A and B are shown apart, each in its own frame.
Chain A
Amino acid sequence: MITLTINQQPYQIEADPDMPLLWALRDLIGLTGTKYGCGVAQCGACVVHLNGEAVRSCVTKLSRAAGQKIVTIEGLSKNNDHPLQLAWNEVSVPQCGYCHSGQLMSAAVLLRENPNPTDQDIDNAMAGNICRCGTYPRIRKAIHLAAELQKKEGEAK
């Protein structure tokens, strides 16, 4: 039995400890928001947070994830209202949308660590996420907008 804590919920699964977290999330737990794109840490479609860090779940073995705090796209916010999600909507970032779970999870770590990212900071943080539909210009724009929204949110609190 492997115990996982995902989006603050405990899960017990029977699985090979070598199985990547990605497939456990998708096939065993039914959280399909995390996507498979390459399986070899090249595309970022599978990014989740492990103890607050962005990791590629396609190369993160269950043995490493067990007992750790995992957050997936489904847990990024309760009501689809993380500043990034709001900004993504406002800027109409997604086209096919397949890459965006990963894009958002990578961007969320950036925004937490660096509330005022420059274009260069965004490039550095997001270079690991491929978007075949080419939504990059809008990703950049939306991250800047999210930074503003986050600031306003902070002031409101």
Chain B
Amino acid sequence: MNTNQVSRRDFLRVSGLAGTALCLGFYFPSSAKEAEIINTTGTASSEIELNAWIHIDTNGKVTIFNHRAEMGQGSFQSVPQIIAEELEVDLKDVNIVFAQGNREKYGNQVTGGSSTIRSSYKNLLKLSATARVMLISVAAQKWAVSLADCYAASGHVFHKTSGNKFHYGELVVDASKLATPKEVILKKTSEYKLIRKPLLRQDTPLKTNGTAIFGLDKKLPGMLYATVERNPRLRGVVKSFDASAALKVPGVIKVFKVRMGVFKTFREGVAVVANSTWAAMQGKKALKVAWDDTGFEHINTADIYKRQQDSLQTQEGLFAKKQGEPDAILKQAEKTVDVVYQTPYQSHSCMEPVNCVAHYQGDKVEIWGPIQAPEWVQDYISEQLGLAKEKVIVNMTFLGGGFGRKAFMDYPHEATMISKEMSAPVQVVWTREDDATQGPYRPGISYRCQGAIKDGEITALKFRMAGQNNDHWRAGKTDQANRSTAEGFLKPYYDSIKNISFAEVQFETPIPTMWWRSVYASTNGFAYESFLDEIALAAGKDPLALRRQYLQEERSQLLIDKMEAVSGWKQRKKNEGFGVAITECFASTVGQIVKVSRAENGKIKIDQVWAVMDCGWYVNPDIIKAQVEGSIVMALGAATIHEITFKDGLVEQSNFYNYKMPRITDIPPIEVYIMENEANAGGVGEPGLPAFAPALTNAIFDLTGKRIRKLPFDLSAV
């Protein structure tokens, strides 16, 4: 391979990384799937041009560029853990730097779809092993011994027989002159020292003493603070505004109209810029804005669900998936089940409200913030402002939660426009109320599920959903079914259930929607897995046994074995409700069993949750457990506590007193287990969420005979 293949168009100058060193990166050929490893060690210039993920300097210090956001899911730990394993360095000697947004360098950086590890681990392993082999080759040459007599450990190359050693820093200059080897041998799982180990997260100490810098903590010299009063109906334009009272608030500097892009449409607001966040907030309260709300519907929640559910009774929709002839079989079947499920709109409500710092400087703009999709922001801002891409510099800070909300370009765009108006660096702070009332939201969806049963066997399943399609807000095609219509449903079912269909009955509103942790699986899972429970009842089968029967493939069988073993499913007693659900999400499968009982006060109590995750190859079991625990807590909130509703086009919830969150007092004991296998890595941050709600409502049915088909529901009222 030669270094000329490196795209030099968009390299990044990283200051503070001076000194000759070894830099390795990927090259993403547009056609080939597997990345090539390239030696990107810099030119003769004093600063090194990097197109690199790993950088080893002459002191042996290793710097890794983390291309994905750290929003709690642990990329800050799991990416270095992979690299340190094959590179043979100690984790503590690895310095992690957030990469800037740059598609040419890092490929897809959007932290979504639980994809950080599953989309890059093979390349990261190969990259690190390549660097190790290059360092070993240099050492072997220097000692004039064979490669086989040398090995690497803890940032050194050792000669087996003499015990001689070189520090990596002593080898990088020569290594940087080598061509990268074509083939490298990767470790076997049994040889791992770091991967698959529950190592402590490197970012924890930063998060226990206030030193982690989140978007809201970013400060620049001369930075101003802004808040924005945006149209509460999520659309429409400013008719007029009166800034006189706002301008009287001490600290308020300027008030003006601002417009930001919201996917393919836009939203207007009035910005209040001040010398402190508090002053900007006070100024916003004092503003008077008249809105022009014509030209779009002012929707009510009740209408949303009525329309969805009416259309599910009359329309077939667009097929997302169809095999066999479910309609014909349903028509003739003696025994059928035909029910509707309903799931709510939800707000992401990250603990860190949306915010962004932008510094517009005429010919360029630099952005800092809690950003999940830095290269999308780069693309969008360069397009909107007519700036070359390299003039739009997008920096990721730590994210105080993301969940999909922060993979969106509206807030960086708005911050850029305000900075431009002020000719100064500005931090735009969304109040909690802004964050809750402005969306975008997880769409609320209705499902109609039909099934036919003959002699205790499933003969046909037919699923239809009506709900907003996130893709449509991103200018997706309207003549195709939502590609996520069948998300959540396990693929092995298609082998055993011969007649089955999934269709989308299209439905839109003026409400902007966006991915919310586990996306469509978060709502599909509730409908499909509740329905399988109803089918099991109609077929006279045990719910878990029914899943075992129709999920014939080995991984599913092993998963079910594990679920049965840890939960004592077969030994369950009277007065105990057990519910099961198994869902797939981003290439991982999670089975959950929830146990409920009636407490002495007559209320339903969740006694225990068992979750079994099969995510194939994995990095850090403790992070996986934490992600599943967190997903279950988030699912508990979405199933039993909160919902976003609309009245006359206005969002009815605004802060944590009316969009309540689960608290420490609401949390049942949770046990998480991980399946051990060598299958391709699946997602970790989201797949733990979808199975919880149906496992809970199935458990409640088991205990009480009461079927819950609408979320959220009040646990204390069952």
CA of A131 to CA of B661, assembled, Å: 8
Flag if B664 contacts A95 (CB, 8 Å).
no
CA of A111 to CA of B669, assembled, Å: 23
B351 CB contact (under 8 Å) in A72, A93, A98, A138: A98
- CB nearest to A73 among chain B residues: B210
B214 CB contact (under 8 Å) in A28, A72, A98, A136: A98
The smallest C-beta distance from A32 to any residue of chain B, in angstroms, reads 4
- CB nearest to A15 among chain B residues: B276
Flag if B631 contacts A134 (CB, 8 Å).
yes
Map CB proximity to A onto B387-415 as digits: 1 under 8 Å, 0 otherwise.
00000000000111111000000000000
Flag if B432 contacts A37 (CB, 8 Å).
yes
Q: Is B234 an interface residue (CB 8 A)?
A: no
A45-B351, A92-B626 known; A97 vs B670 contact (CB < 8 Å): no
Flag if A137 contacts B207 (CB, 8 Å).
no
B432 CB contact (under 8 Å) in A40, A96, A129: A40
CB-CB under 8 A from A104, the residues of chain B are: 208
Flag if A74 contacts B665 (CB, 8 Å).
no
Flag if B207 contacts A94 (CB, 8 Å).
yes
Q: Is B704 an interface residue (CB 8 A)?
A: no
CB-CB under 8 A from A16, the residues of chain B are: 250-251, 278-279
CB-CB under 8 A from A31, the residues of chain B are: 210
Q: Is B277 an interface residue (CB 8 A)?
A: yes
A42-B656, A97-B206 known; A32 vs B217 contact (CB < 8 Å): yes
CB-contacts of B249-279 with A (<8 A): 250-251, 276-279
The smallest C-beta distance from A27 to any residue of chain B, in angstroms, reads 4
CA of A94 to CA of B71, assembled, Å: 11
Interface size (A, Cβ < 8 Å)?
61
Q: Which of B166-174, B197-205, B309-317 interfaces with chain A?
A: B197-205
CB-CB under 8 A from A135, the residues of chain B are: 626, 629-630
Flag if A139 contacts B664 (CB, 8 Å).
yes
CB-contacts of B209-231 with A (<8 A): 209-214, 216-217, 219, 225
CA of A92 to CA of B76, assembled, Å: 13
Which applies to chain B's interface (DSSP): helix, strand, loop or mixed? loop
CA of A132 to CA of B276, assembled, Å: 27
The smallest C-beta distance from B402 to any residue of chain A, in angstroms, reads 8
CB-contacts of B51-68 with A (<8 A): none
Flag if B664 contacts A92 (CB, 8 Å).
no
CA of A33 to CA of B225, assembled, Å: 18
Flag if B277 contacts A23 (CB, 8 Å).
yes
Interface size class of B (residues with CB under 8 A): 35 or more
Q: Is A19 an interface residue (CB 8 A)?
A: yes
CA of A30 to CA of B277, assembled, Å: 13
Flag if A97 contacts B203 (CB, 8 Å).
yes
Q: Is A38 an interface residue (CB 8 A)?
A: yes
Flag if B629 contacts A94 (CB, 8 Å).
no
- CB nearest to B200 among chain A residues: A92
B352 CB contact (under 8 Å) in A30, A95, A96, A137: A96
Q: Is B182 an interface residue (CB 8 A)?
A: no
CA of A132 to CA of B631, assembled, Å: 10
A37-B432, A97-B72, A98-B351 known; A130 vs B219 contact (CB < 8 Å): no
CB-CB under 8 A from A49, the residues of chain B are: none
Flag if B210 contacts A98 (CB, 8 Å).
no
CB-CB under 8 A from B208, the residues of chain A are: 73, 80, 84-85, 88-89, 94, 100, 104
A23-B277, A129-B664, A134-B629 known; A92 vs B210 contact (CB < 8 Å): no
List, sorted by A's number, 10 A–B pairs whose CB atoms are closer than 8 Å: A95-B73, A98-B352, A98-B401, A123-B664, A127-B665, A130-B663, A132-B350, A134-B629, A134-B662, A135-B629
Binding site for B on A (CB under 8 A): 15-16, 19-20, 23-24, 26-28, 30-40, 42-43, 45, 72-74, 76-77, 80, 84-85, 88-90, 92-101, 104, 122-123, 126-127, 129-140
User: Which 3 residue pairs spanning A and B have beta carbons closest together?
Assistant: A33-B210, A134-B633, A98-B400
